[in-house]
Amino acid sequence: MSHFGRFRVSGKDAAVLLHHLTTNNIKKLQPDQGCDAILISNKARVLDWLQIWRESGDAYLVLTSPNRRELFAPHARKFVLYQQDVTIDDVTERSALMGIFGADVDTAVKEADGEASLDVPLNGVVYSQWNEHPLWLSGTRRLPGNGVLVGSSDAGALEAMAKSSGAVLCDDATYNSLRIEAGIPVTGLELTDEINPWEANFNFAISLEKGCYNGQEIIARLNTYKKIKQRLMGVRLENTLPMGERFVLRSNGRNAGLLTSSATSPHQGAIGLAFIRTDYQEAGTVLEVESLPSQKAVVCELPFGEA
């Protein structure tokens, strides 16, 4: 996962900046604590899904989606006020990142620390080492199956650790199938500037207690007045549809939603992720895929359960 963007945001006003840019309460983070947060526009639209960890003092590590790395720093700098003490440093090329997930994640995590068994909390940071190479580990929602991020300044050490653990390298097609099963959205497909965080099920990344931030009034109003008109759900398909294409879903000629991803799962068959409008969210609702009249999409809750 070294192609994911990594930025170190530091200075006495770093927390103020990150707090203003995102939906979660960054100011509450203590050293070695982290959170999921949505980088949001002033219209409360999703720009990216971030993970933010507080390091020591006034420094924070920010993880961006791969295809949003170029967006983060220019966007953030637009909100740095005159004389604020903030430095934004892209450290992506000076560090390496891997993700471990699946049924044997505990075994692989133990390998990262020799004989010890590590308890890696969600979004918390645990420091370790492998063959004297420093590592940091953090639980993540970005990966299915209780995934753990493992970071290091030494890419070679990470690769050697992964090989020695016996973990299987996950290819893109397998990951796509598993993340759809788990209901994990990604930028460019589910997460776009057409979507607000509530619609993408990012309740866990939104603080309703924090003060004013970019897009805050709209986020609060959507929640208070129940104005969320669609949400991310699963659909069971008759046949897998081309990845990367979007398909309008209809019911009796009416717009019922938008299919954003699909894959063939060895556990679930042909499945997909879709934003389903409120009137059609009952599990079992059968929708039509526009332009493919013989293709049906059956609405279901996330994550996918028994096939």
Helix axes 69-77, 14-21, angle to 10 degrees: 110
Residue 283 neighbours by CB distance under 10 Å = 10
Q: Does residue 207 fall inside a structural domain?
A: no
pLDDT score recorded for residue 211:
81
Please check whether residue 187 lies inside any domain of the structure.
no
- At 172, which helix (H) or strand (E)? helix 172-182
pLDDT in tens, 229-252: 999 999 999 988 888 889 999 999
Residue 49: CATH number of its domain? 3.30.70.1400
User: What is the domain-level CATH number for residue 263?
Assistant: 2.40.30.110
Residue where one domain finishes, among candidates 94, 117, 143? 94
Token pair 């790395």 in the structure block, residue:
69
Picking from 94, 112, 142, the residue at the C-terminal end of a domain is 94
CB 301 within 8 A of CB 234: yes
Q: How far apart are CA 270 and CA 296, in angstroms?
A: 11
Q: How many domains does the chain have?
A: 3
Evaluate whether residue 184 is within a structural domain. no
**77, 94, 111: which is the final residue of a domain?**
94
Residue-averaged pLDDT of the chain: 92
Q: DSSP letter at 303? A: S
Categorize the per-residue pLDDT at 145 as very low, low, confident or very high, splitting at 50, 70 and 90: confident
**CA–CA dist 48, 50 (Å, integer):** 6
- Whether the pLDDT of residue 115 is over 70: the answer is no
Spatial distance between the Cα atoms of 157 and 132, rounded to a whole number of angstroms: 9
The answer to whether residue 253 sits within a structural domain is yes
Are residues 172 and 124 part of one domain? Answer: yes
Question: Is the full-model pTM beyond 0.85?
Answer: yes
291 and 273 in a common domain: yes
| pLDDT value at residue 279 | 97
Q: Are residues 103 and 90 in the same domain?
A: no
**Contact in structure between 95 and 6 (CB atoms under 8 Å):** yes
Q: Exposed, middle or buried, 291 (CB in 10 Å: 0-12/13-18/19+)? A: exposed
Indicate the SS3 state at residue 65.
coil
Residue 125 is part of which domain span?
Answer: 96-177
Same domain, 84 and 101: no
Residue 85 resides in a domain: yes
